[in-house]
Amino acid sequence: MSELTKAYEPAVVEDRLYQWWTESGIYAANPASPKPGFSIVIPPPNVTGVLTLGHVLNNTIQDILARRARQQGFEVLWLPGTDHAGIATQTVVERQLKKEKKLTRHDVGREDFLKLVWEWKEKHGGIIINQLKKLGCSCDWARERFTMDEAYARKVQEVFVDLYAKGLIYRGKRMVNWCPVSRTALSDEEVIPKPQKGFLYYFQLEVIEEPGTFLEIATTRPETIMGDTALAVNPNDPRYARLIGKHVLRPLPTEERSPIPIVGDDAVDFDFGTGVLKVTPAHDKADYEIGQRHSLPIIDIMNPDGTLNDLAGDGFAGLDRFEARVEAVERLKELGILTREEPYENTVGFSERADVPVEPRLSEQWFLKYPKTAEAKAAVKDGLIRFFPDRWEKVYDHWLENIQDWCISRQLWWGHRIPVWTIEGNTDAANLKCQIESPGEGWVQDSDVLDTWFSSWLWAHETMDAKTLAKFYPTSVLVTGPDIIFFWVARMIMAGLEYTGEVPFREVVFTGIIRDKQGRKMSKSLGNSPDPLDLIAKFGADGLRFGLLRIAPQGQDIRFDENQIVEGRNFCNKLWNACRFRAMQGPLDPQASPRDHDLPLFCADMLGRLDETIRNVDEAYTSHRFSEVAQALYDFVWGDFCDRFIETAKADFFGEGGPRREATLAAMDFAISRILRLLHPFTPFVTEELWQGLGFGQGATIQLAEWPTPAGFPILPECENAFAALSAARTARSNYNIPSNQKLNWQLQVSQDWVIGELTALASLLNAKEIEVVTAPPEELSATVPTTIGTFYLPLGGLVDVEAECTRLEGEINKVDLEISKVRGKLASTTFVQNAPAEVVDEHRSREAGWIARRETLDAAVRGLRG
RNA sequence: GCGCGGUUAGCUCAGUGGUAGAGCACUGCCUUGACACGGCAGGGGUCACAGGUUCGAACCCUGUAUCGCGCACCA
């Protein structure tokens, strides 16, 4: 296959190979297989999603695990699919409807709107799946699932009914997080706290029973005054305690200034503001609780869309909450009771999806008391599930410790409908039936749908049929971002324990978050998120995968830099060309057995380093340190295999041939076969193309080629010495400003016998005309390069300016003197000599000896030059 | 406020007790029969700061600064 192109061209390779792979059926997981099972369920991306670098990282890791497991002889299931993503998808379709037809979902009605969403899903829902294929993901595509597949949807309903029957699901009127844009309740996890700059407004009210006594109140939300039903002070606050039980006149709405009581409540912080709190039970969680304790009335002054309603009074009704704030301040000013306003920064909860402040709102919702929380905690604590990195265990634990009931109902249309029925017009709890099918005529189903995560939390097991479960459940590993540890990971563990009696996965690998070069999160609005498909087009899927994985240390955030992907591409090209070089030497032997040859030292050494690389790689895999795997392979391929081994092998290949050439070829074929297999999980395309092109598989895919194991070759120290010696000789050449293409006659006074046998190789590596073995330093002007394998002499006749060279050497002598004094200082320290381990002291002694030798060499060189 | 993570070369990052590393960028030489997406050589770092432990600290301990992320918050 000497017709390999000069550079690797991924574009022409990837689609062809991917099609071959999927058609070959290799990704189809067989539950009846005698092989041990290995399984992963994909974290289902939103159907609305397009591939991001986060997905690339996450799915490449899963693909690496799946591919390696296949090579190791496991029956692999990587189960793909997408999530219906309630709010996100509904919003996308609503936006489209508005844009194209100027209609809202209410204009078209629930049924027709859902038809539109399904149409949208059929049309666009496959985008991200196709993008994953471009990346090379080896999923079992025939098993692709969607969280609203019929069977899956049924399971979601069954689980609801079951949890209801167990008394874990209940309906209640509670304070919830309300998104005025999406007009639905949200779970606590969907609320993102953000610091906001605003004002703290102070106003004062006169105590009715004590004319002349004023209470000053501080608030950030004057627009809720109309909903106030009390003031609260701390009963232990000496300033105000005596006023408890008395009243003030609520200043707004102006047309109905009712008296409200002053209550005493421990929740009031004396030190904040004035120590007097206005209590708005309908619009603040803490106030609601105070209201409950004091049986205060609740006045809800807001509409679901965040505008104020009639209860807010004239001038407020119909205003948006933020407009109302301005208006309320105006009114307070008019009343002459606004005492001051101070700039103030506080934290406000924002809706994750709509990115607007969430409104605490009292509403009737469905809640879940989580099942199996103690077991879920224990599963991680006892090591049934291992987290990588393990620091996330603490976060997980803390959340479970402080777990709150989950608000699972959403006032949306797109999602799993709540399987609860009531007789029309009678929502009484006694007349409520929780079941999947309608109880009959006159019964209407709850109009709400379930939180998307209430379906995703069943993903690990409800995506599998009974046979598949038996073979592949619990899954081996879950790969996901730490941002959904509560949303998904923790909940899946609880659902798994409740419905399968087992943990859903044995290990969880948390990836880092990909940021831009400034450390900011990737986001559409910032425009700092490169399109992975562009990167694939430019650098190849393998280049992207390898480049990204190499800089993604376990669980650490990553600053993305396109240069890293360039390096990934370059690496693939390097590998390609190393193989191309091999192909030029004639046909290769897929079964090459270097043990059957008398191996040159450098070959044996390279094979020893390959063994070590395999050991390091396997070790890194045990704790999912993928960047270390990538780096180890990069270093071996580029440094040991290409720079050292191939360069040395050239002397054999371009020489006379014979057994030495055969031995080197065998070592090379043996190594390439392993390199390709080791790299395959990271760079599937280029390795398969080379595997086929070089004839290793004889038509069979590399994907099932056995994972390599060490072959028992040791690393040879004399080789390390030889390369260090060559480096020293080349440094000397460079220091004398001799162009590297100038072929010189070197001389070498050898100190080790084996060197004689490697002179041709050494000459090739030095680009020397020849290396002449001498027994004494030459007469003519030469640079002297002492090394562990002997002393090189570089003829300088006519090549250097003697004076300039002496000056340079003297400069170097000064540096060496400095090093000598450092080491001697160390050795003169009695504490060091007495207490350090003997080998450390010896190391310093030999270091000292090395520097002294270096110094003598330099002295000799100067003496030699000056003649 | 509590918890977690980061701070190492111009840049992106490795490196958990024994002479500070890689890639990119930079400088010089080289298009030598795999690769210029390349080769060889080189310059460049008081490892955020201050204490401590140790013969020895980038690494362990304590504290500080700073950036980021969670969690909980006071109107």
Chain A 211..270 CB hits on strand B (< 7 A): 218-221, 267-270
From the CA of A727, how many Å to the C1' of B47?
A: 28
Which backbone phi and psi does A61 adopt, to 5 degrees?
-60, -45
Per DSSP, the three-state class of A793 is: strand
Residue A149 sits at the vertex; the CA angle it makes with A145 and A150, to the nearest 5 degrees, is: 145
Write out the DSSP string of A193-221.
EEEEEEEEEEEEEEBTTSTT-EEEEEES-
Q: Is the pLDDT reported for residue A626 higher than 70? A: yes
Instruction: Give the residue whose CA sits closest to B38 at C1'.
Output: A574
- Cα–Cα dist A240/A252, whole Å: 23
Across all strands, nucleotide nearest A189 (CA–C1')? B71
A197: CB within 7 A of chain B nucleic strand:
no
Å separating the CA of residue A230 from the C1' of nucleotide B6: 47
Q: Does residue A174 surpass a pLDDT of 80?
A: yes
Q: Give A695 CA → B38 C1' in Å.
A: 26
Is the separation of the CB atoms in A396 and A385 below 8 Å? no
| Average pLDDT of chain A to the nearest whole number | 88
A849 touches strand B (CB under 7 A): no
What is the rounded CA–CA span in Å between residue A639 and residue A633? 10
User: Does residue A739 reach within 7 angstroms of strand B, measured from its CB?
Assistant: yes
Of the two residues A354 and A93, the one the predictor is more confident about is: A93
Q: What is the reported pLDDT for A195?
A: 81
Residue A617: other Cβ atoms inside 10 A: 22
A486 touches strand B (CB under 7 A): yes
Residue A848 pLDDT > 90 = no
- The string of pLDDT tens digits covering residues A795-837 is 887 666 677 777 777 777 777 777 777 777 777 777 777 777 7
Nucleotide nearest to A574 (CA to C1'): B35
Nearby residues of A185 by Cβ (< 8 Å), 6 or more positions away: A176, A177, A178, A179, A361, A363, A365, A407, A409, A410, A411
Å between CA of A730 and C1' of B69? 49
Q: Is the CB of A344 under 7 A from strand B?
A: no
From the Cβ of A151, is strand B under 7 Å away? no
Give the residue nearest to nucleotide B13 (CA to C1'): A551
Is the distance from CB of A60 to CB of A66 less than 8 angstroms? no
CA of residue A554 to C1' of nucleotide B4, angstroms: 15
Distance A634 CA to B32 C1' (A): 25
Considering only residues 522-581 of chain A, list those whose CB is below 7 Å from strand B: 551, 553, 556-559, 561, 563-564, 566-567, 569-570, 572-574, 577-578, 580-581
Q: Annotate A399-461 with DSSP letters as a single string.
A: HHHT---EE-EES-SSSPBP-EEEETTB--GGGEEE-SS--STTEEE-S-EE-THHHHTTHHH
Q: H or E stretch including A493?
A: helix A491-499
Instruction: Work out the percent of chain A whose per-residue pLDDT is above 70.
Output: 97
As a residue count, chain A comes to 867
* Per-residue pLDDT reduced to its tens digit, A266-278: 888 888 888 889 9
What is the mean pLDDT of the segment spanning A636-654?
A: 93
SS3 A186: strand
Residue A66, CB, strand B, below 7 Å: no
Asked if residue A48 keeps its beta carbon closer than 7 A to nucleic acid strand B, the reply is no
Smallest CA–C1' separation from A844, nucleotide:
B19
More confident residue, A143 or A822: A143
Q: Which residue is nearest to nucleotide B31 (CA to C1')?
A: A741
Q: How far is the CA of A786 from the C1' of B7 (A)?
A: 42
- Distance in Å from B25's C1' to A692's CA comes to 37
Task: Specify the nucleotide whose C1' lies closest to residue A483 (CA).
Answer: B70
Residue A507 CA and nucleotide B23 C1' are separated, in Å, by 32
Pairing of strands A505-510, A475-480: parallel
pLDDT at A1 over 60: no
pLDDT value of residue A2: 42
Q: Quick one: average pLDDT of A67-82?
A: 96
CA distance A368 to A373: 12
Provide the pLDDT confidence category of residue A24 given band limits of 50, 70 and 90: very high
Distance from residue A832's CA to nucleotide B54's C1', rounded to whole Å: 11
What b/e string do you get for A332-351 counting C-beta neighbours within 10 Å, with b at 16 or more? beeeebbeebeeeeeebbbb
Predicted pLDDT at A376: 94
Rounded (to 5) percent helix, strand, coil in chain A: 50, 20, 35
Q: Among all strands, which nt has the closest C1' to A582 (CA)?
A: B34
Give distance CA A786 / C1' B15 (Å). 31
Q: Is the CB of A848 under 7 A from strand B?
A: no
Which of A617, A488, A513, A576 is closest to A57 using CA atoms? Answer: A513
Q: What is the pLDDT of residues A441-490, one digit of tens each?
A: 888 899 999 999 999 999 999 999 999 999 999 999 999 988 889 999 99
How far does the CA of A513 sit from the C1' of B53, in Å? 36
The CA–C1' separation of A523 and B11, in angstroms, is: 22
The answer to whether A491 touches A54, Cβ cutoff 8 Å, is: no
| CA–C1' A816–B54 (A) | 29
Question: How many C-beta atoms lie closer than 10 Å to residue A563's C-beta?
Answer: 11
Q: Do residues A629 and A554 touch, judged by C-beta distance below 8 A? A: no
Q: What is the pLDDT of residues A681-740, one digit of tens each?
A: 999 999 999 999 999 988 899 999 999 999 999 988 888 889 989 998 998 888 888 888
Radius of gyration of chain A (CA): 37
Residues 397-456 of A with CB under 7 A from strand B: 398-399, 402
- Check if the beta carbon of residue A724 is closer than 8 Å to that of residue A788: yes
Taking only the tens place, the pLDDT of each residue in A225-258 is 998 999 999 888 888 889 888 999 898 788 888 8
Can you tell me the ipTM of this complex? 0.93
The pLDDT of residue A38: 97
Which residue type, as a one-letter code, is found at position A302? M
| Long-range Cβ contact pairs of A396-399 (< 8 A, separation 24 or more) | A396/A485, A396/A489, A396/A490, A399/A485, A399/A486, A399/A490
- Smallest CA–C1' distance to B25, residue: A563
* Nearest nucleotide to A731, CA against C1' atoms: B41
* Ramachandran assignment for A247, one of left (phi > 0), alpha (psi -120 to 50 degrees), beta (any other): beta
Taking phi first (over 0 means left), then psi (-120 to 50 degrees means alpha), and beta for anything else, what does residue A712 get? left
Q: What is the pTM of this model?
A: 0.90
Output the distance from A494 CA to B19 C1' rounded to whole Å: 53
Whole-number distance in Å between A671 CA and B51 C1': 52
CA of A357 to C1' of B65 (A): 33
- In the complex, which nucleotide's C1' lies nearest to the CA atom of residue A625? B14
Q: Among chain A residues 161 through 180, which have CB within 7 angstroms of nucleic chain B?
A: none
Question: Which chain A residues 762-791 have CB under 7 A to strand B?
Answer: 767
Q: Which nt is closest to the CA of A851, judged by C1'?
A: B19
Distance (Å, rounded) from C-alpha A483 to C-alpha A409?
Answer: 22
Burial classification of residue A748, based on how many CB atoms lie within 10 Å of its CB (0-12 exposed, 13-18 middle, 19 or more buried): buried
Reply yes or no on whether the pLDDT at A205 is more than 70: yes
CA of A613 to C1' of B25 (A): 29
- Which of A678, A707, A683 lies closest to A69 in space, CA to CA? A707
Provide the residue type at A840 as one letter: V
> Which is more confidently placed, A799 or A386?
A386
Average pLDDT of A105-134?
Answer: 91
A286 contacts A266 by C-beta, under 8 angstroms: no
- For the stretch A659-679, pLDDT in tens is 999 999 999 999 999 999 999
User: Which residues in range 313-332 of chain A are in contact with strand B, contact meaning CB within 7 A of any of its atoms?
Assistant: none
Q: For residue A515, which nucleotide's C1' is closest to its Cα?
A: B68
A194 vs A115 pLDDT, higher one: A115
Which amino acid is residue A551, in one-letter code?
A: I
Distance in angstroms: CA A621, C1' B69: 26
CB-contacted nucleotides of strand B (7 Å): 3-6, 11-15, 18-19, 23-24, 28-42, 54-56, 67-75
